[in-house]
């Protein structure tokens, strides 16, 4: 009798544990590292993700309700700002950096090209407050959300509390960004033995592993570090990179290594968007000018024939994940925002 | 908004024989209670100073009996705002029968919390004590005017924060106290501001060496009134 009670009690506890966090909302792909994000402090639920998605697409986050996160991070271009070297925000003001593509953010501990932000939850505050982006402040955003027709109910559904706070707003936006996982490209399918590379892609993959993988490390295709990749400073922008944050000379011209996933759709490239095409990027790496803080991985010249450059590009195109780029889970929530 | 709940809770705790401890922070200027927006004259000069904003965090409140830790407040983060005197008084639920003769606390927010993501209550980023372009809490914020400042409208703005390595501005204060229900702590704001050459320095708004230097001078302004 006693044992029965214990067993039933144990089952109830287990059920409770599963009910409180729905594991199907986020899974770590096979052979990927452990996510950096602490999901225990912000457990995913459908209603919180929906709230985050609505916030992501709603220009209410900007001063004059004209610019949403999606303006500079549109899904079909891997959540970056296509055709814009430097992103423009409110009143057509132009920033100083290329908006980064957003995916697999759960695996990152620092954000922005210079790592100025140390936690995904706090990331959204930067564009909300930036003069050239949304030019708003979080306190006023909360007032606008409280006065809106849709948000009190969305917050109530998400947090069992219609009181809207900065904390819950940021956590909801994080939830939406956390589920943006891109892990179903041709490359991933080859790795899972569901597909195979062409000869050209296979050779490109070999060249990639030889020349690129030490910074653009699989499976995230970034080592998540800051490196100087040898592109000379733009004298107009005068962007010193990571040094701005650490004030350390060793970090001069270092920027966060971006992922190469979905590179086919995330142009332009580099922190200031100076390259429009993949071949310009590859040509840059085969013509590196040495400088004081140049990444040690680039000290030895990269030599590629023109055929090899084509093969390498063919491999890079296998990183395109259409399930990610066109997944309705990540798209404009018209059922809420167009009501 | 949370205050009435805290008071009701304290009352219930008290009925149950628990020990409510008050620690009251009193910002002072020239020996009397600081008044915001009042023009103060610097002693023996015609130069003036007025304080318009004073906000800071007190965190990690600990009670010691000689060198031994006897009580540590859980989730100990308090935002004190000179504009709202109800924030001056921290009510802490001690366990019964605790004897102490020292308290220890931080001015500002520790590095682990700064890495902790979005938080609520006094740590909610809507409180105006959070940097957004390079994230992190502002530990101590003081703004005002002085004819000495050459900035626009004679303003001065000091937002002291930073939690990483050599730019850490967190300060730990240790004070001998008497075991009484209410512990009043004076903060001589004038003493700190007179350390700054306002003619040369009128603003700090990011983690820096200067922020560390000014933060290190904060501990000298705290004293327990008898």
CA-nearest residue to A130 within chain B is: B133
- As a whole number of angstroms, the longest Cα–Cα distance in chain B is 58
Q: Please say if the pLDDT value at position A7 is more than 60.
A: no
d(C-alpha A51, C-alpha A172), whole Å: 6
CA quadruple B212, B218, B219, B220: dihedral sign: positive
In the structure, what pLDDT confidence band is assigned to residue A104 with cuts at 50, 70 and 90? very high
Query: Which DSSP category does B167 fall into?
Result: G
Mutate to test the interface with B, among A118, A119, A139 (most CBs of B within 10 A): A118
Task: Provide CB contacts within 8 A for B9, sequence distance 6+.
Answer: B93
The alpha carbon of residue A125 is apart from the nearest alpha carbon of chain B, in Å, by 5
What are the tokens at B37?
Answer: 């927006």
> In chain A, which residues have their Cβ closer than 8 Å to the Cβ of B81?
none
What are the tokens at B155?
Answer: 């303003």
**What is the count of structural domains for chain B?**
1
- Judged by DSSP in three states, B5 sits in helix
- Judged by DSSP in three states, B183 sits in strand
Rounded to an integer, the average pLDDT of A242-259 is 96
CB-based contact A126 B133, cutoff 8 Å: yes
- For residue B170, give the nearest of B108, B118, B117, B212 by alpha carbon: B108
H/E stretch holding A4 reads helix A2-20
Q: Please say if the pLDDT value at position A3 is more than 90.
A: no
Rounded to an integer, the average pLDDT of A107-121 is 97
- Same fold across A42-182+325-337 and A186-320: yes
pLDDT of residue A227: 98
Q: List B78's β-bridge partners, or say none.
A: B58
Strands B155-161 and B203-204, by their bridges, are parallel
CATH of domain A42-182+325-337: 1.10.760.10
Mutate to test the interface with A, among B128, B135, B164 (most CBs of A within 10 A): B135
pLDDT of residue B1: 43
Residue A196 sits at φ, ψ, to 5 deg, of -140, 150
d(C-alpha A184, C-alpha A172), whole Å: 25
The ranges of chain B with pLDDT < 50 are: 1-2
Contact present, A314 and A200 (Cβ < 8 Å): yes
Angle, CA A98 vertex, CA A97 and CA A101 arms, to 5°: 135
Residue entry with tokens 């107009």: A236
Residue B133 in contact with partner chain A when CB distance is under 8 A: yes
Of A41, A120, A138, the CB nearest to B125: A138
The 10s digit of each residue's pLDDT in A16-55 is 444 445 568 999 999 999 999 999 999 999 999 999 999 9
H/E stretch holding B41 reads strand B40-41
What count of residues does chain A have?
Answer: 339
CATH architecture, range A186-320: Orthogonal Bundle (1.10)
Task: Provide CB contacts within 8 A for B91, sequence distance 6+.
Answer: B6, B7, B10, B20, B21, B22
Rg (CA), chain B: 18
ipTM of the shown complex: 0.85
d(C-alpha B75, C-alpha B89), whole Å: 16
d(C-alpha A251, C-alpha A232), whole Å: 14
The secondary structure of A6-31 as a DSSP string is HHHHHHHHHHHHHHHS-GGG--PPTT
Instruction: Convert A4-32 to b/e letters by CB count within 10 Å (16 or more is b).
Output: eeeeeeeeeeeeeeeeeeeeebbeeeeeb
Mean pLDDT over the full length of chain A: 92
- As a whole number of angstroms, the longest Cα–Cα distance in chain A is 79
Contact present, B182 and B92 (Cβ < 8 Å): no
d(C-alpha A224, C-alpha A109), whole Å: 8
Q: List B223's β-bridge partners, or say none.
A: B186
> Residue B131's CB: how many other CB atoms inside 10 A?
21
Rounded to an integer, the average pLDDT of A64-74 is 93
The pTM assigned to this predicted structure is 0.89
pLDDT of residue A18: 46
Of B117, B128, B208, the CB nearest to A122: B117
Alpha helix stretches (DSSP H) within A113-198: 120-123, 125-129, 138-147, 151-159, 166-178, 186-191
pLDDT of residue B44: 84
Of A117, A125, A130, the CB nearest to B125: A125
CB-based contact A41 B135, cutoff 8 Å: no
- For residue A281, give the nearest of A211, A184, A226, A218 by alpha carbon: A211
Residue B58 domain boundaries: 3-224
CB-based contact A125 B120, cutoff 8 Å: no
> In chain B, which residues have their Cβ closer than 8 Å to the Cβ of A166?
118, 120, 124-126
CB-based contact B135 A119, cutoff 8 Å: yes
Cα distances from A263 to residues A222, A278, B178, B181, in angstroms, run: 12, 8, 66, 64
Q: Where are the domains of chain A?
A: 42-182+325-337, 186-320
The 10s digit of each residue's pLDDT in A272-314 is 999 999 999 999 999 999 999 999 999 999 999 999 999 999 9
pLDDT of residue A325: 97
Residue A127 sits at φ, ψ, to 5 deg, of -65, -35
């Amino acid at each position: 009798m006693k044992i029965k009670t214990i067993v039933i009690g144990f089952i109830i506890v287990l059920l409770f544990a599963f009910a409180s966090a729905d594991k199907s909302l986020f899974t770590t792909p096979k052979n990927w590292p452990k996510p950096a994000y602490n999901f225990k402090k912000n457990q995913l639920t459908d209603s919180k993700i929906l709230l985050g998605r609505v916030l992501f697409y709603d220009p209410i986050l900007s001063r004059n309700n004209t610019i949403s996160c999606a303006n500079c991070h549109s899904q079909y271009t891997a959540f970056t700002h296509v055709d814009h070297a430097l992103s423009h925000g409110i009143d057509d003001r132009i920033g100083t950096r290329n908006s980064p593509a957003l995916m697999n953010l759960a695996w990152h501990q620092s954000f922005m090209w210079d790592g100025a932000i140390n936690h995904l939850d706090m990331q959204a505050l930067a564009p909300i407050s930036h003069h050239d982006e949304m030019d708003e402040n979080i306190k006023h955003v909360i007032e606008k959300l409280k006065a809106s027709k849709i948000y009190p109910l969305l917050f109530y559904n998400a947090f069992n509390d219609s009181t809207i706070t900065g904390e819950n707003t940021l956590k909801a936006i994080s939830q939406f960004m956390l589920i943006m996982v891109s892990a179903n490209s041709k490359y991933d399918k080859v790795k899972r033995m569901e597909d195979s590379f062409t000869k050209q892609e296979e050779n490109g993959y070999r060249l990639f592993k030889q020349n690129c993988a030490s910074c653009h490390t699989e499976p995230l295709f970034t080592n998540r570090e800051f490196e100087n990749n040898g592109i000379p400073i733009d004298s107009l922008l005068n962007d010193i990179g990571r040094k701005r944050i650490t004030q350390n000379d060793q970090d001069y011209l270092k920027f966060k290594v971006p992922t190469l996933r979905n590179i086919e759709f995330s142009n332009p490239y580099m922190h200031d968007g100076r390259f429009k095409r993949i071949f310009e990027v590859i040509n840059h790496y085969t013509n590196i000018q040495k400088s004081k803080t140049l990444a040690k991985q680039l000290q030895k010249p990269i030599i590629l024939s023109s055929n090899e450059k084509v093969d390498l590009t063919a491999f890079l195109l296998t990183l395109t994940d259409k399930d990610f780029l066109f997944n309705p889970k990540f798209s404009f929530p018209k059922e809420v925002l167009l009501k | 908004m949370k205050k009435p709940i805290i008071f009701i809770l304290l009352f219930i705790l008290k009925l149950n024989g628990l020990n409510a401890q008050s620690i009251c922070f009193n910002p002072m200027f020239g020996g009397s209670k600081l008044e915001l927006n009042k023009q103060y004259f610097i002693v023996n000069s015609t130069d003036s100073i007025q304080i318009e904003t004073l906000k800071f965090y007190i965190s990690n409140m600990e009670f010691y009996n000689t060198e031994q830790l006897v009580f540590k407040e859980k989730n100990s983060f308090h935002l004190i705002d000179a504009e709202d005197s109800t924030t001056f008084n921290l009510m802490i639920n001690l366990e019964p029968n605790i004897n102490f003769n020292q308290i220890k606390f931080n001015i500002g927010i520790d590095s682990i919390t700064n890495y902790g993501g979005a938080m609520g209550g006094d740590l909610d980023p809507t409180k105006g004590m959070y940097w957004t372009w390079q994230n992190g809490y502002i530990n101590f914020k003081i703004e005002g005017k002085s004819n000495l400042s050459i900035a626009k409208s004679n303003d001065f703005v000091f937002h002291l924060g930073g939690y990483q390595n050599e730019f850490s501005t967190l300060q730990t204060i240790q004070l001998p106290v008497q075991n009484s229900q209410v512990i009043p702590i004076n903060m001589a704001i004038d003493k700190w501001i007179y350390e700054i050459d306002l003619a040369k320095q009128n603003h700090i708004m990011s983690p820096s060496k200067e922020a560390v230097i000014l933060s290190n001078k904060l501990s000298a302004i705290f004293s327990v009134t008898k």
